[in-house]
Amino acid sequence: MRVASRVFAALAAAGLAFVVVSGVVDSSAAALPTASAPEPPIEELTPIRDTVVFPVGVAIDSRETEGATSELLLRHFDQVTPENAMKPESWYDAAHEFAPSPEIASLMDFAAANDLRVYGHVLVWHNQIPAWFFERADGTPLTTAPADQQILKDRMHDHIFAVAKYLSDNWGSFGGGNPVVAFDVVNEAVVEGASDNLGMRPSDWYRVLGERYVDLAFRYADEAFNQMYAAPGAAHPVALFINDYNTDQPTKRAVYLALIDRLLARGVPIDGIGHQFHVGLDVPVDNLARALDDSGGRGLVQAVTEMDVPTGTPPSDATFLEQGYYYRDAFRVFRDRADDLFSVTVWGLYDARSWRDSQGGPLVFDDALRAKPAYYGIVEGHADEAPLAEFLGGSGSTSPMLYVAGAALLASLGAAWLVWRRRHSAGVAGRAKVHPDAGVSADEALATLSRRLPPSGR
């Protein structure tokens, strides 16, 4: 063989080996399950939870407590948040009686059986709460009259204590085997642009009780979860969080932290600051770092409680790749601040289960339960998933285009050589498969490669 032929042969082999090894050839693309198809096998990937030092959580309902989804969950996560099951409305029947939804028991049983931590969500919120909470027995609205305020204080107290009692009666005392390790006590108490009231959201809680509703919620939660229903000798087993969205935005963060500072000044038993992080590709990852940094130094832990990153619509391979970088960089921020972090939770297991799926698949796994670039971004540098981590573009801000363009060049040189050989050598004439094991022709490989490439200018 002439030297030039050898060089071309090496290039062809390298190019096609790259294409195959790097996963650019997606031989499973046609295997999407239909509604009646058997459940997909779960990929044997490095568990996300093994790549971080903080607990990593996911929001679920009972659909994720069995079958393939539960297998995926148990492989990658060590904590769950009930997406809806523990919101105020889930604890009552139509007659206003305390009647916990069966969803709660499903989640708690699943967590107890599988040694998962439960991050409770949420005791006091203005959403997903029955209207009667804020009404007198005759259905008229509660006012700021002392008798009405007492009604609402009693309701809040009884709600929090009933939740703690039910959970400890059925799954053990807190700190004595109960899976619950934290609770969002108050959710979304502040809003931007409410300058007349220190940024407090004008919810019914606030309207009737004023800012002290937040204080009361934490005091009741502390008494119930960390005293009355705590295991003897357990020191403060349930971390009590305040939680909010847009904490990555400076104006929202300012009112949030100002409230937290007032709570601390009043000696309110708050343990943690929650950041929902319902962000998007347009929110700089730096903003997440700033949210965590600005919230530090108060002696409180922090949690990322509800992260999701929609791509915008329509989602594409290119935007999912960009999303992979986003998750990679966000988890770099989290790993760098691991000492402050109680946990990091994503708001759903796979795209179709996200409340924001219509904004462009925001989560880490796709609807066939396969890892998206987001997964490879999260574990990059912390797991052996090397080829696909390379597909994500290597380190720093290097564009994946350089890497992929190199591969494309090698592959096209290889293809050219094959055409030449086919025309000039009887020995290889008619052989469509360029690599006996790959099972793809050069043309097919190139077509697949170009389908997977981000459009130029990413």
Residue 355 contacts ligand XIL per CB under 6 A = yes
Report the alpha-carbon distance of residue 316 to residue 267 in Å, rounded.
50
Residue at 335: amino acid letter: R
Q: x/- site string to ligand XIL, residues 395 to 434, per CB under 6 A? A: ----------------------------------------
Q: Toward ligand XIL, which CB reaches closer, 15 or 88? A: 88
Report the residue closest to ligand XIL, judged by CB: 355
Report the alpha-carbon distance of residue 290 to residue 257 in Å, rounded.
13
Q: Toward ligand XIL, which CB reaches closer, 84 or 316? A: 84
Active-site residue, selected from the candidate residues 188, 322, 380, 390:
188
Tell me if 383 sits within 8 A of 370, measured CB to CB: no
Mark residue 131 as left, alpha or beta (left: phi above 0; alpha: psi -120 to 50; beta: remaining). Answer: alpha
Residue 276 contacts ligand XIL per CB under 6 A = yes
Residue 187 contacts ligand XIL per CB under 6 A = yes
Beta strands in 381-425 (DSSP E): none
β-strand partners of 121: 184
Encoding tokens for residue 197? 């009231």
Residue 359 contacts ligand XIL per CB under 6 A = no
Active-site residue, selected from the candidate residues 103, 306, 380, 385:
306
Asked if 385 is an active-site residue, the reply is no
- List the interface residues with ligand XIL, window 64-93 (CB under 6 A): 83-84
Residues in binding contact with ligand XIL, number by CB under 6 A: 6
Q: Toward ligand XIL, which CB reaches closer, 83 or 222? A: 83
Q: Toward ligand XIL, which CB reaches closer, 128 or 144? A: 128
Asked if 306 is an active-site residue, the reply is yes
CA angle at 287 for the pair 283 and 291, rounded to the nearest 5° = 135
Residue at 67: amino acid letter: G
Tell me how far, at minimum, the Cβ of 240 lies from ligand XIL, in Å: 16
Residue 22 contacts ligand XIL per CB under 6 A = no
- List the interface residues with ligand XIL, window 115-174 (CB under 6 A): none
Q: Toward ligand XIL, which CB reaches closer, 124 or 333? A: 124
Instruction: Return the SS3 of 80.
Output: strand
Q: Cα–Cα distances in Å, from 363 out to 147, 164, 346, 443?
A: 47, 31, 7, 33
C-alpha of 193 from chain center: 28
- The enclosing H or E element of 170 equals helix 146-171
Residues with a catalytic annotation lie at 188, 306
Q: Which residues bind ligand XIL (CB under 6 A)?
A: 83-84, 187, 276, 306, 355
